[in-house]
């Protein structure tokens, strides 16, 4: 008889700890209205959402089991509509702001937050703040009235209707705006810097007894917000990067002899875009990321590797993340308006080094350098990011309507959850694990020398460090 299930007795979990998200119900009396789904209004029969969630519905954070794994688990609050509302819809005034760099899907999130508030909940008003945090107090940036007409079709456009910016965060002026416009929900769309600001606003609201729900919606093409399966915009950027890699392949194969195409991709402190674009393409021979040191020559050198590849197939393709090679070029002391460090020109540096190395070997080679730059992040969201944006936006609204604050929404283990912002900012930006499966896959498909220092694997047969 085939047994489909059996107990694994060594896998017992002692305790599950919920990562608590603050709820305004603890500080302000809730309206406790029933959460009717407005979509049934056309039939004159308001109904409840199909699946309403309670305060203990959760998704386990650590879902990888194995002997010796943690017996104490962390859980995240499951996102979704709650049975009772904290805010009466007719008194709900929401503000939406987008901060930091552009990212595919920003307009989709604006569209779906507005739609869910106005169409599904019947909120009073949605205000769009122009130009990032500064738009709360810059007299030249008049807020936009977000109506269903204003956001119609917006989800299919790149960029952000509201504009964005770096730098500038005046907490008192932001709170003044929120009070003046009777804002009850604030939706802050941005990366880790933006979330640090959002958390300050949420805590200041609680301290100053302002009944305002602050929701973060994490965006970044860099995919460096910790805990999330992926941030919206990431897969679109990886997809957009494929065009640049295809161009590099064409240039490399057509420019004889010894054609080499180099593509620089974004990724300030982590190499997720470069690594995933490399995996998606399957035509890259060398992938350089900030998490693995660049070694130019010698046993583990990337230049002799390129020489071998070119000798073997006639051409080579290189993908380099903009944040790679700090150990070679040194960290820049310059920063942008938000305090993010400006990066040295690693792409041009690699181009020069390749030319120099081939010349030294007495070989001809004129590497072609392609920097798709903002082309990977100003495009509209692809289908999968579009759906992710909708899921995140709707769930941010459900949570805010139920009174949750100081949270961000994210996909974790393929389910949308509410995460306390402080949990996200504590460990972001995250890095690609140089001992993880993604980097292992890069090495296995490019055959480039692994420059990550050897680390013996527990329980594995002893082996020599690889070449
Ligand atoms: N610790 C902080 N406290 C308050 N505001 C902050 C903080 N860090 C950054 N900000 C503000 O958040 C906004 C966006 O920050 P930043 O430019 O670093 O982008 P980000 O949100 O990290 O997104 P990206 O991934 O595009 O870099 C800026 O207006 C910046 O001033
Ligand atoms: O030139 P900008 O717009 O300041 O931002 C560039 C940075 O923003 C990001 O796209 C993240 O949003 C990084 O990958 C990149 O380093």
184 in Cβ contact with 94 (< 8 Å): yes
Question: 434 CB under 6 A from ligand 2?
Answer: no
Residues above pLDDT 70, as percent of the chain: 92
Rounded distance from Cα 102 to ligand 2 centre (Å): 8
Per-residue model confidence (pLDDT) at position 268: 86
- When the pLDDT of each residue in the chain is averaged and rounded to a whole number, the result is 92
* Residue-wise pLDDT tens digits, 2-33: 778 887 766 667 788 999 999 999 999 999 99
Calculate mean pLDDT across residues 23-51. 80
Give yes or no for residue 416 having a pLDDT over 90: yes
Q: Which contiguous run of DSSP H or E holds residue 438?
A: helix 437-446
Per-residue model confidence (pLDDT) at position 407: 98
Which are the catalytic amino acids? 222
Q: How confident is the model at residue 46 (pLDDT cuts 50, 70, 90)?
A: low
| The two three-digit tokens of residue 319, written as one number | 């993908």
Give yes or no for residue 465 having a pLDDT over 50: no
181 in Cβ contact with 173 (< 8 Å): no
Q: How confident is the model at residue 49 (pLDDT cuts 50, 70, 90)?
A: confident
Question: 167 CB under 6 A from ligand 1?
Answer: yes
* DSSP conformation class of 341: B
Rounded distance from Cα 458 to ligand 2 centre (Å): 38
C-alpha–C-alpha distance, residues 178 and 135, integer Å: 12
190 in Cβ contact with 95 (< 8 Å): no
**Which residue minimizes the CA distance to atom 8 of ligand 2?**
101
Q: How many helices (H) and strands (E) does the chain have?
A: 12, 16
* DSSP conformation class of 266: -
Per-residue model confidence (pLDDT) at position 47: 64
Question: 35 CB under 6 A from ligand 1?
Answer: no
Cβ atoms < 10 Å from Cβ of 72: 10
Report CA dihedral (377, 380, 387, 80) to the nearest 10 degrees.
Answer: 70
Question: 266 CB under 6 A from ligand 2?
Answer: yes
Angle at 117 between CA 111 and CA 120, to 5 degrees: 105
Q: How confident is the model at residue 290 (pLDDT cuts 50, 70, 90)?
A: very high
* Region for 154 from its dihedrals, namely left if φ exceeds 0, alpha if ψ lies in -120 to 50, beta otherwise: alpha
* Residue-wise pLDDT tens digits, 162-215: 999 998 899 999 999 999 999 999 999 999 999 999 999 999 999 999 999 999
Q: How confident is the model at residue 266 (pLDDT cuts 50, 70, 90)?
A: very high
Candidate from 97, 100, 272 with most ligand 1 atoms within 8 A of CB, to mutate: 100
Per-residue model confidence (pLDDT) at position 91: 97
ipTM: 0.97
Per-residue model confidence (pLDDT) at position 466: 40
> Domains of the chain by range and CATH?
14-231+381-425 (3.40.50.450), 235-378 (3.40.50.460)
Question: 190 CB under 6 A from ligand 1?
Answer: yes
Q: What is the pTM of this model?
A: 0.94
Looking from the CA of residue 168, the nearest atom of ligand 1 is 31
Per-residue model confidence (pLDDT) at position 73: 86
Q: Which contiguous run of DSSP H or E holds residue 415?
A: strand 415-420
Rounded distance from Cα 351 to ligand 1 centre (Å): 32
* Residue-wise pLDDT tens digits, 121-156: 999 999 999 999 999 999 999 999 999 999 999 999
Give yes or no for residue 259 having a pLDDT over 70: yes
Angle at 257 between CA 253 and CA 263, to 5 degrees: 45
Give yes or no for residue 161 having a pLDDT over 50: yes
Angle at 392 between CA 340 and CA 398, to 5 degrees: 125
């Amino acid at each position: 008889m085939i047994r489909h299930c059996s107990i694994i007795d060594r896998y017992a979990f002692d305790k599950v700890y919920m990562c608590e998200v603050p709820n305004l119900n603890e500080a302000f009396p809730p309206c406790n209205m029933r959460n009717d789904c407005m979509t049934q209004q056309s039939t004159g029969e308001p109904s409840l959402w199909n699946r309403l969630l309670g305060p203990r519905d959760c998704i386990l954070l650590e879902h990888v089991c194995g002997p010796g794994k943690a017996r104490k688990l962390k859980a995240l609050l499951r996102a979704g509509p709650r049975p009772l509302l904290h805010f009466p819809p007719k008194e709900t005034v929401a503000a939406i702001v987008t901060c930091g760099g552009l990212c595919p899907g920003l307009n989709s999130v604006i569209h779906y937050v507005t739609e869910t508030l106005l169409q599904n909940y019947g909120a009073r008003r949605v205000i769009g703040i122009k130009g990032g945090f500064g738009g709360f107090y810059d007299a030249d940036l008049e807020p936009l009235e977000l109506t269903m007409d204003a956001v119609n079709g917006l989800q299919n456009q790149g960029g952000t209707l509201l504009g964005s910016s770096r730098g500038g965060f005046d907490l008192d002026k932001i709170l003044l705006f929120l009070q003046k416009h009777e804002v009850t929900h604030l939706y802050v769309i941005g990366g880790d810097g933006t979330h640090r600001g959002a958390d300050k606003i949420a805590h200041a609201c609680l301290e100053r007894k302002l009944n305002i729900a602050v929701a973060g919606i994490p965006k970044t093409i860099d995919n460096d917000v910790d805990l999330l399966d992926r941030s919206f915009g990431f897969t679109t950027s990886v997809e957009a990067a494929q065009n640049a890699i295809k161009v590099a392949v064409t240039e490399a194969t057509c420019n004889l002899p010894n054609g080499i195409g180099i593509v620089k991709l974004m990724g300030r402190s982590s190499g997720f875009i470069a690594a995933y674009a490399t995996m998606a393409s399957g035509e890259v021979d060398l992938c350089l990321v900030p998490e693995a040191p660049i070694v130019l020559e010698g046993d583990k050198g990337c230049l002799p590797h390129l020489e071998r590849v070119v000798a073997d197939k006639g051409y080579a393709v290189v993908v380099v993340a903009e944040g790679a090679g700090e150990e070679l070029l040194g960290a820049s002391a310059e920063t942008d308006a938000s305090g993010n460090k400006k990066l040295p020109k690693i792409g041009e540096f690699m181009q020069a080094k390749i030319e120099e190395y081939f010349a030294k070997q007495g070989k001809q080679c004129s590497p072609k350098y392609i920097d798709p730059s903002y082309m990977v992040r100003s495009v509209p969201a692809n289908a999968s990011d579009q759906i992710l944006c909708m899921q995140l936006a709707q769930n941010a609204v459900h949570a805010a309507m139920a009174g949750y604050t100081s949270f961000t929404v994210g996909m974790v283990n393929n389910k949308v959850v509410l995460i306390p912002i402080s949990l996200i900012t504590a460990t972001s930006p995250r890095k690609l694990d140089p001992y993880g499966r993604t980097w292992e896959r890069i090495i296995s498909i490019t055959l480039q020398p692994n420059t990550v220092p050897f680390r013996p694997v527990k329980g594995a047969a002893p082996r020599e460090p690889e070449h």
